[in-house]
Structure 1
Amino acid sequence: MTGIAYEDFLDTSYEPADTDLVCEFYLEPAAGMDIEAAASRVASESSNGTWAELQVDEFVDLSATACGIDGNRVTVAYPDALFEPGNMPQVLSCIAGNIMGMKAVERIRLLDCLWPAPLATSFPGPQFGSRVRDELFDAGDRPILATVPKPKVGLPTEEHARIGYEAWTGGIDLLKDDENLTDQSFNPFDDRLTASLAERDRAVEETGEPKSYLVNITDETAAMLERVDRAAAEGCEYVMVDVVTAGWGAVQTVRDACEDHGIAIHAHRAMHAAFDRIENHGVSMRVIAQIARLCGVDQIHTGTADLGKLENEDTVGINEWLSSDLHGLADVLPVASGGLHPGLVPELIERVGTNVCIQAGGGIHGHPDGTHAGATALRQAVDATVAGIDIAEYAADRPELAAAIDRWGTETPR
């Protein structure tokens, strides 16, 4: 008989190997169980343990080790051989799978991961990352800018494209579908793609600036691949994927297809809060962003550093990780979005820097003079901030920015 007792998965003297995937968890043990017992069960369940003694003569030891305990924070090291290279669903089934529902823990949250070179480099990482600012837009020192036509669903194709033209010519770089606009009857995918790109081309000719379109291809995987091909054939530089709802395996497949066409992936994080909003349970946005980078997205929403309408979780720290060295993999461009308007731009850039994409919806289309003026106001606020000029001073002879400040001030919406 061969087996491993729960206590065999706990060794606080263990020093993780360079090839180990090291994960940090927040744990609240179940009633009647101490943190050591809970930690050992997490390491067991997420690797090769079970609750019963086994009738097995031989097996490969793939045990994880709970190697650090600091209050409710537990560090678990996983051996490299536990993971199939380049298979994100399998990795997550280990480190964020059954353990999320174990009776041994009242609450458990995957806080952070330290990705070793063998596992990290088995994934492709981003094709472009933040290089899109220079290679697609020649944006210089400023953030690139994006907008979603509002309302985000319900606009007919022609109106969607018209709003895109108004935004592009006002100074926006990217028109973006929102998370729940795909191929509905009121605005079919193919019609929207061709109509929007025609308006993009008109805007490029008028402004002399590069412009692009984040068309939402989210669907089951085969349909997404068809939409990648369609977007590429029409000359679109991007596709957008709702990465959490589509699933990480599908994202990996789309990443391969996008590389074949040389187009970038914009990641919308819809549904992320189902995993990360409760502070003591689930999976942190930091880890979700890490997974997205490994799977190969080029830009992803990471929040507004508490300035917008949505809950945020360490936006600055996540953005810093997305730009950090990861065994040679490209970085990811963070996207700040959700309740932004021109009056928030100076504080936002102070908090998150300029190597970002700033996206505003209502803060553009809700401008009293319409979408074109709203886009102009956002661009003016960015240009002023990057130049070190107070936006109120800059607005003195720029009526679009003045009207935006008059309407919204510097208040954060809810």
Structure 2
Amino acid sequence: MGIEYDDFLDESYTPASDDLVCEFRLEPGEGMDLEAAAARVASESSNGTWAALDVDADVSRLSAMAYDLQEDGTVRVAYPDPLFEPRSLPQILSCIAGNILGMKAVDSIRLVDCEWPEPLATSFPGPQFGSDVLTEKLDAGGRPGLATVPKPKVGLPTEEHARVGYEAWTGGVDLLKDDENLTDQNFNPFERRVTQSFEMRDRAESETGERKDYLVNITAETDEMVRRAEYVDDHGGGFVMVDIITAGWSALQTVRRRTEDLDLAIHAHRAMHAAFDRLDHHGVSMRCLAQFSRLAGVDHLHTGTVGLGKLANEDTVGINDWLKSDLYGMTDVLPVASGGLHPGIVDTLLDHTGPEVMVQAGGGIHGHPDGTKAGAQALRAAVDAWTDGESLDARAEDVPALRTALDKWGTESPR
């Protein structure tokens, strides 16, 4: 049979129930119309090539089909189930977000969204805990979970890191968190940091009567990540953190398999995501990165601050809704809001996100004029006030630390 680009375009196509449907937005390359560019996208991302082929085997069952072309450059492409290896994110992404991002047939192309069929989606494990970490591992039922990264985010010696954690925990924060670039450096070695931080965690739990934990960054080469996860488990931790984009999807899937045995939740940091999603006309959307993360099995994922923090705005609410949506019974993911948050903007943030979220503040705690513990008290008071339906100013009358935070930062977002 012959295979040409026209075989990958059918505007009347109706996807099969087990097709993976991807929505792209593209700008055709020079000399191309939208139909020609869309056909080349479907061809290159499945089983076509630039030259017309004559082959004996019937390979049409593996061919993607472009359809539903819109004037704004939106194109939907349906991929047949046999094209994919189940439970292999790298193979799937090599198809739907691989060579097509560099084709001359398009000036730009963005993977905007995916509709996951049941057979492919359920081949993945999904999260172990998701939003249930708020009650299964923490005492944050009915309110957002609270986390903090010691500041400066790198450079603190181990003893100071653990002390800052203790101050934050006793001030009302649930979770201490490593930053994305703190792993196993000489100034704060991994094993010593884990050991001393959990000693301070235990002390804070004893004093507050609340469960506390630590999001330990285990990001490294894959085998080393597994070893570090086991070390965290040996020292009484309930969470690990992975820089999922820089570590890679295969590594994340390996970590997910081991953490299930260890009963550890995975906190996903999205460092490097903007290399894929910052441009609105090219790359891979954060919505899709969030989908890949849920399939692979993370329990928390940074999804933005609805434009309130220091990072660029994005569809935080839409992404959060997808992470919590029904996906053939798969466990949800707890969204994490982080990056430039402080007590004065928490109420506006939560008006958008609702209570099933983790609020993470760094400078908005440690930059408090009265220190880390007061900063943690201020953040906890702000979140509790929102949960109770009380204004920040009213709560500040009873919580001096909150009053000080509001006087310092007001209700403005940092840049």
TM, length-normalised to structure 1: 0.99
- Tell me the secondary structure at the aligned position of residue 169 of structure 1: helix
- Superposition pairs for residues 4-153 of structure 1, below 5 Å? 4-61=3-60, 62-71=62-71, 72-153=73-154
2:169 aligned residue: 168
Tell me if 1:280 matches 2:294: no
Residue 23 of structure 2 contacts residue 75 of structure 2 at CA under 8 Å; is this kept in 1? yes
Cα distance, 1:56 vs structure 2:
2.8
- Superposition pairs for residues 375-414 of structure 1, below 5 Å? 375-414=376-415
- Tell me the secondary structure at the aligned position of residue 240 of structure 1: strand
Cα distance, 1:31 vs structure 2:
1.5
The residue type paired with residue 49 of structure 2 is: T
The CA deviation string for residues 189-243 of structure 1, in whole angstroms up to 9 with x for no partner, is 0000000000000000000000000000000101001001111111100000000
The residue type paired with residue 335 of structure 1 is: V
TM, length-normalised to structure 2: 0.99
Residue 20 of structure 2 contacts residue 79 of structure 2 at CA under 8 Å; is this kept in 1? yes
Across the aligned residues of Structure 1 and Structure 2, the Cα RMSD in angstroms comes to: 0.7
**Alpha-carbon separation, structure 2, partners of 1:392 and 1:156:** 37
- Superposition pairs for residues 162-311 of structure 1, below 5 Å? 162-311=163-312
- Tell me the secondary structure at the aligned position of residue 123 of structure 2: coil
Residue 130 of structure 2 contacts residue 298 of structure 2 at CA under 8 Å; is this kept in 1? yes
**Alpha-carbon separation, structure 1, partners of 2:210 and 2:184:** 29
The residue type paired with residue 86 of structure 2 is: P
Cα distance, 1:67 vs structure 2:
1.4
**Alpha-carbon separation, structure 2, partners of 1:313 and 1:357:** 17
**Alpha-carbon separation, structure 1, partners of 2:357 and 2:3:** 48
Residue 4 of structure 2 contacts residue 53 of structure 2 at CA under 8 Å; is this kept in 1? no
The residue type paired with residue 339 of structure 2 is: G
- Tell me the secondary structure at the aligned position of residue 214 of structure 1: strand
**Alpha-carbon separation, structure 1, partners of 2:370 and 2:230:** 38
**Alpha-carbon separation, structure 2, partners of 1:59 and 1:259:** 41
Cα distance, 1:143 vs structure 2:
0.1
Distance 1:70 1:55, change over 3 A: closer
Cα distance, 1:138 vs structure 2:
2.8
**Alpha-carbon separation, structure 1, partners of 2:87 and 2:399:** 51
Identical-residue share of aligned pairs (%): 68
**Alpha-carbon separation, structure 2, partners of 1:113 and 1:312:** 21
The residue type paired with residue 117 of structure 1 is: E
**Alpha-carbon separation, structure 2, partners of 1:85 and 1:131:** 27
The residue type paired with residue 413 of structure 1 is: P
The CA deviation string for residues 36-59 of structure 1, in whole angstroms up to 9 with x for no partner, is 100000000000000113353214
Q: Which range is displaced more, 63-72 or 117-126?
A: 63-72
The residue type paired with residue 75 of structure 2 is: V
Distance 1:60 1:7, change over 3 A: closer
May I ask how many residue pairs the two structures share in their alignment?
Answer: 413
Query: Structure 1: which 5+ residue stretches go unaligned?
Result: none
Cα distance, 1:313 vs structure 2:
1.4
The residue type paired with residue 134 of structure 1 is: T
- Tell me the secondary structure at the aligned position of residue 22 of structure 1: strand
The residue type paired with residue 379 of structure 1 is: R
The residue type paired with residue 259 of structure 1 is: E
Cα distance, 1:398 vs structure 2:
1.2
The residue type paired with residue 19 of structure 1 is: D
- Tell me the secondary structure at the aligned position of residue 268 of structure 2: strand
- Tell me the secondary structure at the aligned position of residue 57 of structure 1: coil
Q: Which range is displaced more, 282-291 or 392-401?
A: 392-401
- Tell me the secondary structure at the aligned position of residue 358 of structure 1: strand
**Alpha-carbon separation, structure 2, partners of 1:157 and 1:249:** 31
**Alpha-carbon separation, structure 2, partners of 1:23 and 1:306:** 27
The residue type paired with residue 216 of structure 1 is: N
**Alpha-carbon separation, structure 2, partners of 1:208 and 1:300:** 27
Cα distance, 1:119 vs structure 2:
0.3
